[in-house]
Each structure stands twice: as structure tokens, then as C-alpha cells.
Structure 1
Amino acid sequence: MRTAREVQRWQVVPLAAEHIRSLAECHIACWREAYADLIPRHVLDAFDVDRRAEQLERRRLSHPDRTVVAVADGAVIGFGSGGPALDETTVTPREINALYVRAAWYSTGVAHDLMRAVLVPEVDTTLWVFEENPRARAFYAKFGFELDGARRVEAFSPSLEVRMVRRATESG
């Protein structure tokens, strides 16, 4: 099998129906790769590709144009989702709900391309990230996100999340 660096360059495209199954596989794989030390094993093992695909399709239909996927060799290798705030407790008009890249694609630029696709520099934006995920927190800081002191328990585990906020820039 070829490594990520040997595969053709990726493309970031809007999520379409033909990406759903591959996106579900990618999302579950990303959680298992990134959160093995944060999320209980039984929770990670319980994720089901078919059920996740159904959830993603419903979300795609109810919130079109919110999610983009990075595709290489016909497979989703990462994705990002952002748009108008859905969380009623948000402190900004926009939020980033997800940004994930398969571990084989770390440090290739995929995450940067996904962030550029979902971030609107002229609008204040929030996101939530695991407190014990320094790699992700450092990545978001490169884009101007800063901790604002808010914390919450993640929905699937006892892990804590922290909120990061990026204030709008006039020039983008």
C-alpha cells in the first residue's frame, strides 16, 4: 500500500452524496487514531459505519454547504464543517463543528486546506476541542483561535473540551 505522500494530491470539495460512506469511514478512523488515549475504547469500538453514514446524510441534507471533504484516490482523507452557529450558547455568529484528517495525512497541508475552506476570516468564530489535545489546540492557534476559558464535558465521554474563539479580521 502506498503512503499518503505517494498518493496523488488531494482535492477539497463540497460534501456530496457519493462521499457519505467514505466520510463515515474517515470520521470513525480519525476518532480512533486521534482519541485512543482520550475516549474509552468501548466507545470507539461501538462506532458503526452504516449508522454514521445515515447521520451524515441527514446532516448533509439539513445543512447543505456546511461540510467539505478532502479526497485523494477516491477516498475521503479529511473533512471540515462550519457555518452559522447551531449551538444556542455560542458566543459568536459562526462555528467550526469539525475538522479531522487521517493520521497518515498529518503535516501534509490537508488540514490547512480544510480550515481555509470552512473559516470565514471576517466573522467571529468558535470551536470546541479536547482539552488534552495539544496538537489540535496548537493547529487552531495558528489560525488565530484563543482559549476563552469555557469548558464542557464532551457528549460521548467524560473528556473535557475547551472553547477557542477567533475574532474577525478586517482584511481576512
Structure 2
Amino acid sequence: MTERSWHIRSLAAEHTRSLAECHIACWREAYRDLVPAHVLDAFDVGRRAEQWERDRVRHPGRTHVAIVDDAVIGFASAGPSRDAHAAAPFELHALYVRSPWQGSGVADDLIRAAIDPTAECSLWVFEQNPRAQAFYRRHGFALDGTRKVESFSSVIEVRMVRPPSAGGGRRA
């Protein structure tokens, strides 16, 4: 995939079902050896689409999707930090790209659409996900030593923080 064939846009109603399909597929692609199979098998596209639609209505502009041929191939969602003891006022809540598109630049475009490249920001990433951690380091994030158990999967997450004006991440 040498040419940019995707478009980044704010989530619209017509893409919530495709986003739900993408979200579930990304979890199954990325976490099959990390998250228990029964958790991954329990995902329901209809319920996930309803959740994304509620989020889209409540928080317009927080979620951006990468679209190819009217299908969502990746997404990023960001907003105020959800942590009780926030390390930064803003948080990248999610960033996922379907496996055939990883390394293509889609994730770089999504992170730039979701968060100001110079803003102080935090995120949580699975401790056993070195590929994602390397991507976030390229975008100015660093581990801050904070860990927690992710409530849905019971997998350990680590927090990464980007200070203000860390830069917009250069493509490798």
C-alpha cells in the first residue's frame, strides 16, 4: 500500500456499524494471544455499534475513522482524561487499525486527527504490546511507571504520557 487510499473523517452515523466491526476485528487480530478467547468471542457487533452511536451523539468530533471504499479500517478516539489522578488533561482513549493496514501510515494520520500533536496527553496500552508502545514513543509518549488492570480483559495496562509540545511524531 504505497499510495494513500484512505480518508480520515469524524465519525458519522453511517459508519458506526462499520466502526463496530472494525473495533471487534482489531481486538481479535491484536489480542488473541493476550486476552482470553471467551472475552474476544463475546463481542457483539450490534451492541458495539449502539455504543459507538451513543458516543458519537454525546461527544461529536471525538472519534475519527479511516475509510476505504466506505468501510472503516481504523479509528482513534480522544477526549478529557478519564483517570481520577490524571497525568494529563487529555487522553487518547483508543487507536486501532486493521492488520492489513498496519505500517501504512493510517495510524499516524489517525493520531494526528484525534489529538493536537503539541498537546499534553496520556494513554493506556497493554503492557505486553511492544509494537503499540513503539508507535506511541514515535509520537512523543513515554511510560510514566503507572500500571493497572484493564477492567474488561483483566490484562495489565501501562500509562504513557506526552508532555506539551513533544512534537507530532515523525514517520519511520
Counterpart of 1:162 in structure 2 is: 158
Counterpart of 1:131 in structure 2 is: 127
Q: Which moved more, 1:53-62 or 1:41-50?
A: 53-62
Counterpart of 1:99 in structure 2 is: 95
Deviations, residues 4-48 of structure 1 (Å, cap 9, x unaligned) = x39970000000000100000000000000000110000000000
Equivalent of 2:74, from 68, 74, 78? 78
Cα distance change on mapping 1:170 and 1:52 into 2, 3 Å: closer
Q: CA deviation at 1:51?
A: 0.4
Counterpart of 1:112 in structure 2 is: 108
One-letter amino acid of the structure 2 residue matched with residue 161 of structure 1: E
* 2:19 is aligned with 1:23: yes
- Residue 8 of structure 1 contacts residue 72 of structure 1 at CA under 8 Å; is this kept in 2? no
Instruction: State the distance in 2 between where 1:7 and 1:104 align.
Output: 14
Q: CA deviation at 1:62?
A: 1.1
Question: Where does the alignment leave 5 or more consecutive residues of structure 1 unmatched?
Answer: none
**Between Structure 1 and Structure 2, how many residues are aligned?**
168
- Residue 121 of structure 1 contacts residue 169 of structure 1 at CA under 8 Å; is this kept in 2? yes
Q: CA deviation at 1:171?
A: 7.1
* 2:34 is aligned with 1:38: yes
The alignment partner of 2:128 has SS state of coil
Q: CA deviation at 1:83?
A: 2.0
Instruction: State the distance in 1 between where 2:101 and 2:8 align.
Output: 14
Kindly report the root-mean-square deviation, in angstroms, between the aligned alpha carbons of the 2 structures.
1.7
Equivalent of 1:9, from 5, 9, 13? 5
Cα distance change on mapping 1:141 and 1:75 into 2, 3 Å: same
Question: Where does the alignment leave 5 or more consecutive residues of structure 2 unmatched?
Answer: none
- Residue 33 of structure 1 contacts residue 103 of structure 1 at CA under 8 Å; is this kept in 2? yes
Q: Which moved more, 1:56-65 or 1:136-145?
A: 56-65
* 2:50 is aligned with 1:54: yes
Q: Which moved more, 1:21-30 or 1:77-86?
A: 77-86
Instruction: Return the TM-score normalized by structure 2.
Output: 0.93
Cα distance change on mapping 1:31 and 1:145 into 2, 3 Å: same
Identical columns (%): 60
- Residue 2 of structure 2 contacts residue 104 of structure 2 at CA under 8 Å; is this kept in 1? no
One-letter amino acid of the structure 2 residue matched with residue 77 of structure 1: I
Q: CA deviation at 1:63?
A: 1.1
- Residue 10 of structure 1 contacts residue 71 of structure 1 at CA under 8 Å; is this kept in 2? yes
- Residue 140 of structure 2 contacts residue 167 of structure 2 at CA under 8 Å; is this kept in 1? no
